[in-house]
Amino acid sequence: MSRKKKPLPLLEHIEITDIAAEGKALARVNDMVVFVPWAAPGDIVDLQVRRKKHSFMEAEIVRFHQKSPLRHEPTCQHFGICGGCKWQHVPYSEQLKAKQQQVEDQLRRIGKVELPPVSPILGSANEFEYRNKLEFSCSNKKWLTREQVASGETFDNMNAIGFHITGAFDKVYPIERCHLMDNRHNEIRNAIRDYAYLSGMTFYDLRQQHGLLRDIIIRNSNTGEWMVIIQFCMEESEDEDRAKALLQYVADKFPYITALLYVNNQKCNDTFSDLPVHVFKGNDHIFETMEGLRFKVGPKSFYQTNTEQAYMLYKVARQFAGLTGSELVYDLYTGTGTIANFIAAKARKVIGIEYVPEAIEDAKVNSEINGITNTEFYAGDMKDILTDEFTSLHGCPDIIVTDPPRAGMHPDVVQTILRTSPKRIVYVSCNPATQARDLALLDYNYAVKAVQPVDMFPHTPHVENVVLLVRR
């Protein structure tokens, strides 16, 4: 006989005291931390505990007794459901304070390294419409709100285009308007949705893994160009005709799209780095510009999603590098070579390494179109490329700039960096927690001399951070 679970408690008249990581707020009850989504410091609430562990609880608000004076009305109609902008109900100035504290706490608590004073965070010039890329999933299982479920309403059409809901991988919450990108992207996405509805196009079933319309990526650039990539799952002979009819509709309705592309993806996941991308109309790329340089961005290329803040970020990295023109620089996780090309004018030579071969080809093109001749780029897994043999062949770097993914650097990469012993390391990170872990590994040989947080993602808990390490 299974043991009956003890009911989780209702906590009454609890004050929310701080903003926590992952977009949550927190309260303290009997020396235990309680994490609460969608709350703000100063709220007085009743909380229903949903999860209880030895040292913390997770709860949700079931009643407000008093709303915090910090609260303001969120801009987005989808706030509280879609899960993207977790802090829209908190003023941007307060978000910046929380991100500053998050960086300091994680570097000290996880890294346990000696830190200089952390510089004040550089906030984004734009709170909304700051992104240059958004990705939307298509599903035949629309996420229903609690109110919709409780009403007993039935839906003839359960297809949806939008964002995945946490904890329900096969369901998508339909988005009518997202404020994170120029409003043209809403027009494009909703037109694709309406055409698919009217034409009877099937939407992808994530469990059964079939259905024609699968995924939509929309990108724009500061040159005014637009790229749209539609992923289909074409399994039947007629599917290609249906897909191309949709693409023609999009091309006719939105003539400003300069790169209209499509992918036939029959895999179990939405990644298409190993699949061919087909051009339906226009080019296979768009261009971004930065400080007089032009950067080619292809469908598989990584480019920072907040263009204006990327410029701020790269200026900090260049400043921390302290280049005089005589240095050999390794740019790890170079992507399309944005940082490498951005700093090349002030270095003797820059070598960029990146996992995605297509991004490396774009990096080479970016050097060529900007007349940059002192860069070299290599494609492959970082831990396999950056070896002692590689540094023996190309020379030990004077400076390393590293901008790894959220998981941070592989331990083998850290050890190779330590053996090459550059004078300076400029560590750019989108995850201060894994950055702190790596700083601890580097601490014996390197001292942290400067820390500069940069906010790329208003209304989300994410923050970029740049750290300068100097050889002891």
Tell me which residues are annotated as active site. Answer: 430
The 10 Å Cβ neighbour count of residue 454 is 25
Q: What's the chain's length in residues?
A: 472
Contact 147, 175 (CB under 8 A): no
179 and 217 in contact (C-beta within 8 Å)? Answer: no
* Cα 277–chain centre separation: 22
Report the C-alpha gap between 352 and 362 in whole angstroms.
Answer: 12
Q: How far apart are CA 160 and CA 435, in angstroms?
A: 37
Q: How far apart are CA 437 and CA 221, in angstroms?
A: 34
- Residues 6 or more apart from 466 whose CB is under 8 A from it? 313, 316, 317, 320, 426, 427, 428, 429, 450, 451, 452, 453, 454
Read off the tokens for 374: 């002192």
Burial class (CB in 10 A: 0-12, 13-18, 19+), 61: middle
Amino acid at site 260: L
Residues 181 and 132: beta-carbon distance below 8 Å = yes
- CA distance linking residue 152 with residue 132, whole number of Å: 39
CA distance 377 to 357: 10
Bridge partners (DSSP) listed for residue 146 = none
Residues 224, 229, 232: CA angle, nearest 5 degrees = 165
Q: What is the DSSP annotation of 393-443?
A: HH---SEEEE---TT---HHHHHHHHHH--SEEEEEES-HHHHHHHHHHHT
Is there a contact between 264 and 233 (Cβ–Cβ < 8 Å)?
yes
- How far apart (Å, rounded) are the C-alpha atoms in residues 461 and 95? 8
Phi, psi of 195 (to 5 degrees): -60, -45
| Phi–psi pair at 288, nearest 5 degrees | -110, 155
